[in-house]
């Protein structure tokens, strides 16, 4: 329902600050800057260690996250960018495929906050990206942090991990 307040969960508390990767597509640079600013501000609240990489467009964001998920040591990821509807079906292709790829990575265990805006106009994007307004970059960062906290909560105790490695089950 329009105009209804949204419930926002308190940020999780971490004993060990998470290491985060923000992947942004700065195709609309002003929107991307606001999204990154919002995400970084949220991650600072939990003392996260943050790296930032830029990719050409929204379709490349999931690929970059997939590479980092498989080859680097990050606890979580923040996907940022903006897709604005144009006159062709390219909008649907980019929105559907970038979202699906991020969801598949999440099902594989990647803790991803999806802040790729899918909007009709640049004005809508500006409102959603603005850290002082809808702050979708901050919301995506918070989502990733909640998934990291959940993953840590359900992780086997350290002694069970070492025991499995010693027994040859790793």
Sequence-distant (6+) residues with CB within 8 A of 155 are none
Alpha-carbon torsion (68, 72, 77, 81), positive or negative: negative
Q: In which element (H, E) is residue 21 found?
A: strand 19-24
Residues 6+ apart with CB under 8 A from 49: 17, 18, 19, 20
Alpha carbon 103 to its chain's center: 11
Closest CA to 57 of 21, 31, 75: 31
Catalytic positions are: 90
């Amino acid at each position: 329902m329009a105009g209804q307040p949204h419930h926002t969960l308190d940020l999780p508390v971490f004993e060990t600050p998470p290491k985060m990767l923000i992947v942004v597509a700065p195709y609309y640079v002003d929107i991307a800057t606001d999204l990154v600013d919002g995400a970084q501000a949220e991650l600072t609240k939990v003392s996260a260690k943050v790296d930032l990489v830029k990719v050409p467009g929204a379709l490349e964001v999931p690929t970059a996250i997939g590479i980092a998920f498989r080859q680097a040591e990050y606890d979580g990821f923040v996907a940022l960018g903006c897709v604005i509807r144009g006159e062709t079906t390219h909008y649907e292709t980019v929105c559907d495929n970038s979202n699906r790829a991020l969801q598949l990575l999440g099902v594989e265990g990647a803790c991803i906050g999806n802040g790729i805006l899918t909007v009709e106009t640049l004005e809508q994007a500006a409102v959603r990206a603005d850290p002082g307004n809808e702050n979708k970059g901050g919301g995506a960062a918070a989502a990733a942090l909640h998934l990291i906290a959940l993953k840590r909560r359900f992780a086997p105790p350290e002694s069970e991990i070492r025991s499995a490695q010693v027994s040859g089950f790793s």
